[in-house]
Amino acid sequence: MEQLIGAQIRNVLEKRGMTVTEFAKRINKSRENAYSIFSRKTIDTGLLKLISEVLDHDFFKQYSTEFNVLEAAYEQNLAENKMLRDYNLLLRKDK
């Protein structure tokens, strides 16, 4: 199961050994707001960019990779669909 972005942020924060108080200061948020970030499913890209800089971790990379994989699968499905349509037309002509 894919981990929520907030949980990913918390994991990286803990790996960096940074306190929540320091993290909150560096992203210009209250401590309470920082804790609320850890439970989020989604996050504003501007805030995620700042968090990426503060924690020196590229949170966007994972989502870029997932998008590229999905885009490649989509393109492959389009090509297969076209091939099947062409094959279907050929079969109909043989009748």
Whether pLDDT at 90 is above 60:
yes
- Superfamily, domain 1-57: lambda repressor-like DNA-binding domains (1.10.260.40)
Share of the chain above pLDDT 70, in %: 92
Q: Token pair of 78, please?
A: 């389009």
Check residue 13 and give its pLDDT.
97
Write down the pTM of the prediction: 0.65
Average pLDDT value over all residues in the chain: 88
CA distances from 59 to 16, 24, 74, 86, 93 (A): 14, 18, 24, 42, 53
User: What are phi and psi for residue 2, nearest 5 degrees?
Assistant: -70, 135
